[in-house]
Amino acid sequence: MTEQKAADIRSRSMETEQEPEQDDLPLYMRPAEVKIVSANDLLNRCRLYLSETDCQTILRAYRYADEHHLGQFRKSGEPYITHPLAVASILASWHMDCVTIQAGLMHDVLEDTGVSKKEMAELFGIEVANVVDGVSKLDKLKFRSVQTAAAESFRKLLLAMAKDVRVILVKLADRVHNMRTLGIMRFEKRCRISRETLDIYVPIAHRLGMNHVFRELQELAFLNMHPVRYRVLHDAVLKTREKRKEILERILQETRRALPKAGIRARVLGRDKTLYGIYNTMRDKHIGFREALDIYGFRVIVKTREECYLTLGVLHALYKPVPGRFKDFIAIPKTNGYQSIHTTVIGPNGTPIEYQIRTEEMHRIAEYGILTHWLFNDDGASANEIQARTTAWLQSLLEIQRQSTDSSEFIENIKIDLFPDRIYVFTPKSKIISLPKRSTPIDFAYQIHTDVGNHAAACRINGVESELTQELHNGDMVEITTDPSATPRPEWVKAVGSGKARAEIRQFLRTMKFADSAKLGFDLLKKAGEDISLDIEQIPPAIWESIQKEMGASSRDEFLADLGLGKYVAEAVVNRLAVLMNTRESLEEGQSTVLQKTVEVTGNEGMAVTLASCCHPIPGDEIWGFMRPGKGLSIHRTECSHTVKGKASDPGRWMTAKWAAVPASARFRVPVDITAVNERATVAACITAAAEENSSIVGLTVDQGSGSTCYLHLMVMVHDRLHLARVIRRLSHVKDIQEVRRRTSEHFKGPAAEAAEGQKSSLTSQLNSEDLYADRSGQ
């Protein structure tokens, strides 16, 4: 491809004023700069570890893929076959087997050409066809929405991966190359693909222990979503690296001198943070660039497990350790097989230093994870253990699939288990159980066995009687007491933190006998009625018929069964029954003779309780609940126009609600309108101001007013009203902003948050590494 043609292609794909100029981006974001792999390059790489027979089979697969992709081109103008070649080359660099590389070459053949799986199996074998089929999307089937199609495709991928892990390895190689060449795409598409990469493929790479893939995908996603921020941090790190060179060299030499004196031969390596890691640290901890880079990282790689602990003693004698900053992942490995000792010490001039101490074998597994088996022909104990861990995890995917009724529920459950934050708790026999953060004894019980979870009646945490819904912490010892008559309750769905437990609970509730579900619903209703002195058993048939029709149920038992399965909130149903009773008994007076119960809302109830998108209620707002036929309770702000009009026209469907304890990690969307001048500078300043208050902007549009005036419509994420007030106050201090207010109208204008990044194309000179997220509270 000529330089002129590449430039023409880049100029056609640019978003004009909504993204940085391509020439300003790092080299590997420019499509013309990405090296194109030839068939000879691939074969030469394969010959390093495969037989000539295998290489000829791979050549045959290449010719087959080339023939069927003939006439197809990528967005950059290159022949489409360059992409499968690049994917196969990445797989070859991981020393994958012949089947996997053939699948990499043909991974798009089933999806983009008229070839059938049967034909491919006849030519290349059923193994290759199954892997290719597992990677292929479900584009030829018709789904209700794009989201449903994406969920089904991902569901199919994970299920195929559970049967053969090589499916996900091909998909990861495919995603790596797509991310490397994403720069040719429109800005909003880059953002969408990058967000999907961070949400799904980065956690999968982490779960498989593939650290090099995990880091590269994170960096490429950050680069494509936030090119300006990436460039600012990239330049700042380069400048800082020179300033840190002297102290780094001193620490390195002192460490290397201390270890041989104790008879320990080791490799000592410096460890750089990724730009995405620095960015996340700044954002999550609300600190500036200097604070994010204040820790110096080193890896000490020794020969044996025993030397790891000896090295720890030497380093603690050399520098003073920081209390509470020690983790032993050798004794308790992470779920992906990662093992190391982490310790933080105070080095020369008060410099914090983090050491990671591991053996060579641990280092290989930490970097390559499941690929260790192929890259190093490693059949040692650790490699076998990580294979066993991966197999167990993949089998758990099949269990979650078995318990999920549809794709969206499957994805919801699986994403919980994909994210890497874990806690480690103990059984009474000292067996270690790994669970997602915010898990409860219910999650623990289901992790032991489905029957233990289904019949859990009580628990003891560290020897103390505790609630089954109490949050667990690292190091807790948990003991579950079972009872054959105990069964899961609908409220457990909201309490658990693991996808496995949630899927098992829902499955149990769905498969209960219809009569049992109806009885459970009636019991919930009866208990809620007792709180407001309403005798459910005295409800006349006419009232039951009325509420059945409102909720779209064909019978009272069907309605009660839905209630038992958690489709409705018992308190809200009781409130509606009370209103219907009052209307019937005292129609003339128009007054209630029964005390109405207030529903408590935490903001994450799910199907039974939802937050209205018309007014975006947040903790601290006065709220009301509206009983929606067949959909549960919708929560609105008191001043919402729907609330005002609805209470006037149909007061019987509305009930008082209040906020219960909301998890500290919870965030809620709130629309904010800004009147400002100097649009470009203001957008960047707003993003910075929001970050300074531990908030984020997830939606932004700009309307041009008269003269230099512009109107910014933001969607910000906050914890509650106080947090929103701090964000608004910080935004109001931004230069050139004339007014900031929370929107009270019913619709939020504008596309997704990616437009926000594009507004900053001319802001590079105004941002620098020191004040990107600096504290400006003194303004």
Q: Write out the catalytic residue numbers.
A: 111-112
Is the C-alpha dihedral spanning 67, 73, 74, 78 positive or negative?
A: positive
Nearest CA to 634 among 659, 660, 655?
655
Cross-strand pairs, 623: 637, 657
The DSSP code for 199 is: I
Q: What are phi and psi of 60, to 5 degrees?
A: -65, -40
User: Which residue's structure tokens are 């903790």?
Assistant: 619
Q: In sequence order, what DSSP letters do the residues of 652-701 get, joined into one string?
A: GGEEEEEE-PPPTT--EEEEEEEEEESHHHHHHHHHHHHHHTT-EEEEEE
| Coil vs helix vs strand at 753 | coil
Could you give the CA distance from residue 490 to residue 181 in angstroms, rounded to a whole number? 47
The answer for residues whose C-beta is within 8 angstroms of residue 7's C-beta and 6 or more apart is: 32
CA atoms within 13 A on the CB side of 760: 24
Q: What is the 3-state secondary structure (H, E, C) of 55-122?
A: HHHHHHHHHHHHHHCCCCECCCCCECCHHHHHHHHHHHHCCCCHHHHHHHHCCCHHHHCCCCHHHHHH
Q: What single-letter amino acid sits at 653?
A: R
Could you give the CA distance from residue 543 to residue 524 in angstroms, rounded to a whole number? 18
- In 3-state terms the chain splits into helix, strand, coil percentages (rounded to 5) of 55, 15, 30
The DSSP code for 208 is: T
- Paired sense of beta strands 599-601 and 654-659, if any: parallel
